[in-house]
Amino acid sequence: MQITAKASFGDRFLIKGIITGFLILVMLIPSVFVLNLVEERKERQQEVIAEVSSKWASAQTLSGPFLIVPYERTFIDADKKPAVVTEQLIVLPEQLMVNGTVQPQIKQRSIYKVALYKSSIKLDGHFDLKNITAGENETILWSKASLCMGLTDSRGIEAQMQSTAAQMPLTFDAGIPENGLAERGVSVPVDLSKVLADGRLDFTIPLSVRGSESLQVLPLGKTSSMQLRSEWESPSYIGKFLPQHNPDMKGFDAKWQVLHFNRDFPQIWKNRSYKAAEYAFGVSLIQPADNYAKTMRSVKYAILFIGLMFGFFFLLEIMLGYRVHPVQYVLVGIALIVFYTLLLSIGELLTFNIAYGMATFATVSLITLYAKQLFVKWSNALLIGGFLFGLYAFIYVLIQLEDTSLLAGSIGLFLLVALAMYFSRKINWYQQPAAVVAPEEEA
């Protein structure tokens, strides 16, 4: 009979352990729902950003300036008669210098903030016309050339665009001749025959443009340089080339230098297109903290979190001799899941750190009070509350670390397993400890 009782006791905790493991897997279902909810709210934020940006101006990429020089080519057609076709030369600048300032504009839409900007930019440089020669049976139409400036979204142009080329004032018009470099932008006719003697066309183009998310430039010059300054404190440098930058509490000052060796297209070409957009570089105005990204990372730890908490409850059951019903496990699991909905909803209104602190305080308080009813003594309840708070602090540190989170998480889990092994080392899993006396046995 004694052996049967011991086996019965061991079997009971084996069954309870299996049930606890099953409940951990069951809690995966609501955690997936929360993960989908975070994705849905993030998509809603992107929709709002896209809507506001569509009414302001989209992300801007400056392509230019460049020259489109038409030329006539004479050939013998299929009927053996002379024919003339007009084609294009694309001429890029010998030197391009871009200097600008970016003024952030934060727009509020519902509960979302959208980062927009206004910029004042000046483009200086020159074209080298000495090396442009007509081929056999070709005639270059110097007087019908166009000075073009590609722009992703022309709605962002805030003032009349004027240029000085070869000391001649020029005013740009909307639209750009078809070319293989930029689909949209502005252009102005320019008579290059007046500067052929010098073989050089200098230009200065002031530009006031607004946009959203990012501002980039194509390195069209044989030597291209850009300097951007802004009050934005959290820039993200994007594109093929990284700048020398001086970030400080007042913003950033970034400088780029790109040579024609660093890209894969020439300074002059005829009747073809290149994927020049691949070589764009610039800055993205990102929000200092992406609450959705951090919330998403914390939700991904949910199953680990619930598993550790349920495991702690299970060990306390064995060590203290109290019984916790599976329904009570489920209620604790639901409270742990609700933490993430609190984190998400509060984080949409406040910062992630504040939201995390408030959600942690609410969840730890709730489960600590509930544990008081399950384990009778305040010391037991506070032990559970302290363990739960430690888990939240541990997950918070992992979220902040980002790059080294795997290392920190692995070390943390190793220590937790070591503690579990240490405190459970004297448990006889086949019979009830002598120190544990069930209430009905006392009676």
Q: What is the pLDDT of residues 379-425, one digit of tens each?
A: 888 988 998 998 899 889 888 886 777 788 788 888 888 887 877 77
Looking only at the bridges linking them, the beta strands covering 252-259 and 185-190 are unpaired
Task: Tell me how far apart the alpha carbons of residues 289 and 427 are, in angstroms, rounded to a whole number.
Answer: 46
Non-local (6+) Cβ contacts of 103 within 8 A are 117, 118, 119, 120, 230, 231
Q: At residue 2, does pLDDT exceed 50?
A: no
Residue pointed to by tokens 């990429």:
61
Q: Which residue has the higher pLDDT, 51 or 223?
A: 223
Share of the chain above pLDDT 90, in %: 31
Which amino acid, 89?
Answer: L
- Domain range summary for the chain, segments of one domain joined by +: 2-43+292-442, 59-288
Give yes or no for residue 247 having a pLDDT over 80: no
Integer Cα distance of 408 and 394 in angstroms: 9
The model's confidence at residue 10, banded by pLDDT at 50, 70 and 90, is low
- Terminus-to-terminus CA distance in the chain, angstroms? 21
How would you label 114-135 residue by residue, b for 16+ Cβ within 10 Å and e otherwise? bbbbbbebebbbbbbbeebeee
The predicted-structure confidence for 173-183, as pLDDT tens digits, reads as follows: 998 988 888 88
What was the pLDDT predicted at 199? 86
Q: Do strands 95-109 and 223-230 pair parallel, antiparallel, or not at all (unpaired)?
A: parallel
Cα 39 to the chain's mean position, in Å? 14
Query: Average of pLDDT values for 10-22?
Result: 75
- Which pLDDT score is estimated for 272? 79
Confidence of residue 233 (pLDDT cuts 50, 70, 90): confident
The reported pLDDT for the residue numbered 351 is 86
pLDDT bucket at 225, cuts 50 / 70 / 90: very high
Confidence class for position 99, pLDDT limits 50, 70, 90: very high
Which pLDDT band holds residue 339 (cuts at 50, 70, 90)? Answer: very high
Q: Taking phi first (over 0 means left), then psi (-120 to 50 degrees means alpha), and beta for anything else, what does residue 239 get?
A: left
Compute the average pLDDT of residues 148-163: 88
pLDDT at 439 over 50: no
In what helix (H) or strand (E) does residue 46 lie, and over which residues does it extend?
A: helix 28-56
Q: Is the pTM of this model over 0.75?
A: no
59-288 CATH fold? Immunoglobulin-like (2.60.40)
* Whether residue 371 has pLDDT greater than 80: yes
Give the dihedral sign, CA 21/22/23/25: positive
pLDDT at 434 over 70: no
pLDDT attached to residue 428: 66
Confidence of residue 1 (pLDDT cuts 50, 70, 90): very low
> Which pLDDT belongs to residue 93?
95
